[in-house]
Amino acid sequence: MIDRDTAARLAALQEQARLDGRRCVVGALIIQKGRVLVLRRSDDRSLFPGCWDIVGGHVEPGETLAAALEREVREETGWRLRRILDLVAVTDWETVHGDRVDRRREFDFLVAVDGDLSSPHLEAEKFSAARWIGPRDLPELRENRQAGDDLISRVVSQALVLAERAAFPQGDS
């Protein structure tokens, strides 16, 4: 899935996040036919309810970024991570829970997956819908987001541009 140099680079990024007091989050940008898979978070989620999101989630204690990415792809879609193609974005963000601030560092990767891309197996308790978003659909990713919250639309846009320029594999169709 990843070579030794990439694993070392990701380990260094993860360690720097820890030193910076940031909890790691991974995101998978899965592309097929010039579109990225997005999932609508369930309305009862405490974080970003009803918002479109990419596949991903928190890195568990003792887990590497690559292992977390593989787990999240499997849990949220039923697909298998074939390969990490590129690191698209690294973004720091925070959420506030009462008087506690949760500081996160998100690593979003362009990935290749194996599985039936026409039919993701969504975690029903976490997601209510899935769809493929192309460049013209990017404004829809701001639905139910707070003003200024453009992380998902920004990384999806970056992934689409990167995939087009580099002619990365765009899924099995």
* CATH number of residue 106's parent domain: 3.90.79.10
Q: How many domains does the chain have?
A: 1
What whole-number distance in Å separates Cα of residue 118 and Cα of residue 43? 24
Average pLDDT over residues 93-117: 94
Residue 54 belongs to what domain range? 4-166
What whole-number distance in Å separates Cα of residue 89 and Cα of residue 86? 9
3-state class (DSSP) for residue 157: helix
Rounded to 5 degrees, what are φ and ψ at 74?
-65, -45
- Give me the torsion for CA of 120, 123, 124, 129, rounded to 10°: -40
Reply yes or no on whether the pLDDT at 169 is more than 60: no
Is residue 37 situated within a structural domain?
Answer: yes
3-state class (DSSP) for residue 128: strand
Instruction: Quote the pTM value.
Output: 0.91
Predicted confidence at residue 113, as pLDDT, reads: 96
